[in-house]
Structure 1
């Protein structure tokens, strides 16, 4: 499906969004299953979900719950874990 969408969209901007996912429990990392904040968005030729920042490549957004300590956002441990499972790292700051 993604290949067909990529071919159809060409140089235009667009997105595919997968919802109703559930991130698994990872007891060794003190991560607990999460279904409320669990989505993946594939952005084509843009960097934002508003489709307002053009790009020459694609961006993957992983939607997770962030942890706030003393009123400050600390980390998105689920995103770090998911990236690590694929041998990757989180590249940018969280987006609202």
Structure 2
């Protein structure tokens, strides 16, 4: 088993610009078998209700004072705000609706797909599983929602031993990487 490593390719206050960069990166990839993972910090009952209407299944964890309390399916997350919600295997079509539902809270969307293209200029063939995805951190600068922000960051994820692929991908869409490679929980 291997981990992927993300490298930032864009930071912007403009969510539409960030989504355009995500779609440009996805246009380079073999997106067969693509699914989306969504993680969000939800602060209000209204946002939780909106998100819950979109996500038929979601896991949640309290981030409030009772975060060490055990929760089961009968617990109501609205009674434990703020909460982290997470859902897997979503359709890419749900992303913009989910981001609107969360409102100003931080969220991370990960598009996971089959592979990156061959990058002959840096000596790499197609980049495969567990190292081929794109993340968008909305109102957060990091992949774990630990650093809230007013802007949004797009990460290209690659295998650690194929680190040269991240700058190559960024260059394909007219951008440059910045910051270090960051290990991501796959």
- Mark the runs of 5 or more structure 2 residues left unpaired by the alignment: 1-92
Tell me which residue corresponds to 2:151: 57
Superposition RMSD on alpha carbons, in Å? 1.8
Give the alignment of 1:12-31 within 5 angstroms.
12-31=105-124
Tell me which residue corresponds to 1:47: 141
1:87 CA displacement = 0.9
TM norm structure 2 = 0.44
Higher relative contact order (CA 8 A, sep 6+): 2
Tell me which residue corresponds to 1:93: 180
Does the 8 Å CA contact 2:141/2:148 hold for their aligned counterparts? yes
Question: Equivalent residue of 1:93, what SS?
Answer: strand
Q: Which has the larger radius of gyration?
A: 2
More helix, by proportion: 2
- Mark the runs of 5 or more structure 1 residues left unpaired by the alignment: 68-74
TM norm structure 1 = 0.80
Tell me, in whole angstroms, the C-alpha distance in 1 between the residues paired with 2:101 and 2:173. 27
1:63 CA displacement = 0.9
**Which residue, out of 151, 155, 169, partners 1:82?**
169
Tell me, in whole angstroms, the C-alpha distance in 1 between the residues paired with 2:142 and 2:120. 32
Tell me which residue corresponds to 1:72: none
